[in-house]
């Protein structure tokens, strides 16, 4: 069973524990700027939205890489960057429509979420469970049902 990150922005308090845990796990330092997950802040609304690589099935980053440095880990379902193969050209950062691949100036390579080898630190660190690691099949179904419920209710209210 493949698993994936599920993000519920309504539960996010903007504490940045996910960013801190990610940067410590992957870079060995507490530095949100070096995290593979980011929390986007909507100041006027007082809302926070964590976002990271969605591990796309048709991954544009993987297809764009001229040296095939991004490969699927079939055990975890994560698209992983092979640091030895990556030449730091940043083509994948341009190809990603979500902006979740970043260039690391320290290493001269790109970085992205690799699901921490199947045990994501961001999900473990999140105190409100705004980020959870769940069965991949369940995430899409829950979102579709929620959207269908909102759409159906909106149509009934308008009619």
Is the model's pTM score more than 0.85?
Answer: no
Residue 62: its pLDDT value, please?
A: 97
Instruction: DSSP letter for 70, please.
Output: E
The parts of the chain modelled with pLDDT lower than 70 are: 1, 138-159
What residues form DSSP beta bridges with 40? Answer: 49
CA distance 142 to 30: 33
Neighbours of 21 (CB within 10 A): 22
Residue 57: which of 39, 72, 35 has the closest Cα?
A: 72
Name every residue whose Cβ is closer than 8 Å to that of residue 135 and which is 6 or more positions away in sequence: 1, 2, 3
Residue 116: its pLDDT value, please?
A: 96
For the chain, give percent helix, strand, coil, nearest 5.
35, 20, 45
- State the residue range of the domain holding 153: 3-158
CATH number at residue 59: 3.30.70.20
Residue 135: its pLDDT value, please?
A: 85
CA distance 14 to 107: 28
The total domain count for the chain is 1
**Matching residue, tokens 């979102």:** 143
Over the stretch 61-88, which tens digit does the pLDDT of each residue have?
A: 999 999 999 999 999 999 999 999 999 9
């Amino acid at each position: 069973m493949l698993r994936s990150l599920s993000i519920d922005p309504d539960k996010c308090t903007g504490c940045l524990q996910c960013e801190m845990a990610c940067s410590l796990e992957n870079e060995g330092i507490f530095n949100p700027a070096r995290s593979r997950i980011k929390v986007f802040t909507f100041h006027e609304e007082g809302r926070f939205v964590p976002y990271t690589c969605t591990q796309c099935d048709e991954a544009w980053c993987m297809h764009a890489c001229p040296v095939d440095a991004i490969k699927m880990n079939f055990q975890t379902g994560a698209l992983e960057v092979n640091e030895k193969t990556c030449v730091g050209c940043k083509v994948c950062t341009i190809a990603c429509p979500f902006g979740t691949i970043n260039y690391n100036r320290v290493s001269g390579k790109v970085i992205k979420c690799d699901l921490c080898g199947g045990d994501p630190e961001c999900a473990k660190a999140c105190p409100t469970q705004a980020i959870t690691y769940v069965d991949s099949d369940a995430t899409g179904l829950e979102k579709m049902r929620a959207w269908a419920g909102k759409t159906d209710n909106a149509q009934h209210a308008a009619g």
